[in-house]
Amino acid sequence: MSILVVGSVAFDTLKTPFGERKKILGGAATYFSLSASFFTDVRVVGIVGDDFTSEHEAVLTNRGIDTRGIEHASGKTFHWGGEYGDNVNEAETKFTDLNVFENFAPKIPDAYQDSEILFLANIQPELQLDVRRKMPRVALVGGDTMNLWINIKRAELLETLKEVDILLINDTEAKLLTSEHSLVLAARKILTLGPKSLVIKHGEYGATIFFSDGSHPFRAPALPIAEVHDPTGAGDTFAGGFMGYIASQPELTPTVLKRAMFYGGVMGSFTVERFGPERLISLTRDEIEERFRLFRSLTHLD
């Protein structure tokens, strides 16, 4: 099954304890699509400015990603500045320059209408909802968001959540969205807002999936990594591996969901090894399978 993703295609300016990078390729849709492209066909809807070159776009097309839905507008590409201290799980946003995203009206190429899965990667919730409404025939909708939109676009976000089947967010976002201190209570509340499944990501400690039908939650590990060079994009890369694996399977069974949680963790663990999407660009399917085995051995008792 093919996945259509809408979200930020960006430049990131980053500082971590391992160094700094200025205006490197980033964005939620970029990380998501690179990661998902190891499992299935991916199409992107987004917008970039005239500082976004054909070399930047080639990073996506070289992985077979369909970029016909990326609009080229005059102006500057979305630019995010982030910094990490000793806590690799929390980015401190230094600036968010929406630039061309400010007046973006998503246009979906006709060739994308047969996409079976839609992923609403991080971007203004109204844009997510607009794309959701323009894709009425999709079989499954995944989504993500962040603290900025929970704080300044809560009402719009709540509208979007009604249309999302699987929401993927991190611990802090889950608590912020629900004003709950307990993760379990936060999960219960979110599962009344629309999503049938909720993946809460715990950064370097793994991720847990909760279900609205009362089934037991399931937790997948993260790989203990000695040197996290740049955590940027780990969450979107997780989502790409998770949704990509689901798209590659004939049916959405509980076993598929559990394995998807592992593949999400596997993909995220590669991204943080280097700055930006560098590690995803050089990655191979064999390396992914080798690390999947490592993830199994990390948690299997017998």
Q: Report the interface residues with ligand AMP, using CB under 6 A.
A: 8, 10, 12, 26-28, 80, 96, 122-123, 146, 148, 232-236
Q: Judged by CB, which is closer to ligand AMP: 94, or 258?
A: 94
Find out whether 245 and 260 touch, Cβ atoms under 8 Å.
yes
183: how many CB neighbours lie within 10 A of its CB?
Answer: 17
CB of residue 269 to ligand AMP, shortest distance in Å: 13
CB of residue 301 to ligand AMP, shortest distance in Å: 31
CB of residue 99 to ligand AMP, shortest distance in Å: 12
Find out whether 63 and 34 touch, Cβ atoms under 8 Å.
yes
Find out whether 134 and 154 touch, Cβ atoms under 8 Å.
no
Task: For CA atoms 164, 6, 205, 246, give the dihedral sign.
Answer: positive
From residue 57, alpha-carbon distances to 43, 60, 282, 296 in Å are 13, 6, 16, 35
Which residues are registered as beta bridge partners of 24?
12
Contacts of 250 (CB under 8 A, 6+ apart): none
Catalytic residue among 51, 66, 236, 286: 236
CB of residue 28 to ligand AMP, shortest distance in Å: 4
Known catalytic membership, residue 236: yes
- What's the CA gap between 14 and 276, in Å, rounded? 9
- What's the CA gap between 95 and 148, in Å, rounded? 11
CB of residue 122 to ligand AMP, shortest distance in Å: 4
CB of residue 180 to ligand AMP, shortest distance in Å: 21
Q: Judged by CB, which is closer to ligand AMP: 150, or 257?
A: 150
Q: Judged by CB, which is closer to ligand AMP: 33, or 232?
A: 232
Backbone angles phi and psi of 155, in degrees to 5: -60, -45
Burial class (CB in 10 A: 0-12, 13-18, 19+), 133: exposed
Q: Judged by CB, which is closer to ligand AMP: 139, or 148?
A: 148
57: how many CB neighbours lie within 10 A of its CB?
Answer: 18
Q: Judged by CB, which is closer to ligand AMP: 123, or 246?
A: 123
Q: Judged by CB, which is closer to ligand AMP: 26, or 265?
A: 26
Q: Which run of H or E residues covers position 42? A: strand 42-48
Alpha helices in the chain (DSSP H): 28-36, 54-61, 125-134, 147-152, 154-161, 171-178, 183-190, 234-247, 254-271, 278-282, 285-299
State the catalytic residues: 236
